């Protein structure tokens, strides 16, 4: 992830490993987005914002898939809207949320696209 860069994907900084358990990942360090809001918390979205954010999310997913990576948990809570009005995908830790992606599509390319469709609708 560190070598991947897309304006609508949160920047990966590094991994945290416990000192006594080399190779075991305790957490991921990601870039901080000042004054960002989760998409799910935005009460009103204009048609222009909807189109812009849908395009940005779609472009980010296509980028990830081209790099053989899966977002894995597509839902509005995992899209941050930055202070400058751009969407950024977050939460690449695995898992999925019922209602956004069908269970057979968890952590797959198809699941990312299905989640995108549901976010946009």
In the structure encoding, which two tokens stand for residue 67, read together? 């790099």
Residue 109 lies in a domain: yes
Burial of 97 (0-12, 13-18, 19+ CB in 10 A): middle
> Would you say residue 53 lies in a domain?
yes
Q: Please give the tally of structural domains in the chain.
A: 1
DSSP per residue over 98-120, as a string?
TTTS-GGGTTSHHHHHHHHHHHH
pLDDT at 57: 98
Structural domain including 91 reads 34-120
pTM: 0.85
pLDDT score of 3: 62
Residue 85 has a pLDDT of 97
- Reading the block at residue 21, the tokens are 């358990």
**Residues near 14 by Cβ (< 8 Å), separated by ≥ 6?**
2, 28, 29
Closest CA to 96 of 109, 105, 85: 105
Q: Is residue 86 part of a domain?
A: yes
**Which two three-digit tokens encode residue 77?**
């809570």
Q: Name the token pair of 63.
A: 């980028």
* Residues of the chain below pLDDT 70: 1-3, 26, 29, 93
CA distance linking residue 28 with residue 120, whole number of Å: 28
pLDDT attached to residue 49:
98
Residue 59: which CATH number? 1.10.510.10
Per-residue pLDDT, 18:
76
Instruction: Please give the pLDDT value at position 2.
Output: 59
pLDDT value for 98: 83
13 domain residue, yes or no? no
Is residue 18 situated within a structural domain?
no
- In-domain check, residue 23: no
* Assigned domain for 12 exists: no
> Is 113 a member of any domain?
yes
């Amino acid at each position: 992830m560190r070598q991947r860069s897309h304006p609508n994907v949160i920047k990966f900084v590094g991994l945290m490993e416990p000192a006594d358990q080399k190779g075991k990942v305790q957490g991921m360090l990601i870039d901080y987005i000042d004054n960002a809001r989760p998409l799910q918390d935005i009460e009103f979205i204009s048609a222009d914002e909807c189109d812009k954010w849908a395009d940005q999310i779609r472009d980010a997913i296509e980028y990830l898939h081209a790099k053989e990576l899966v977002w894995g948990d597509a839902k509005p809570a995992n899209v941050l809207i930055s202070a400058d009005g751009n969407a950024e995908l977050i939460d690449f830790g695995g898992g999925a949320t019922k209602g956004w992606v069908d269970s057979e599509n968890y952590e797959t390319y198809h699941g990312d696209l299905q989640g995108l469709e549901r976010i946009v609708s």
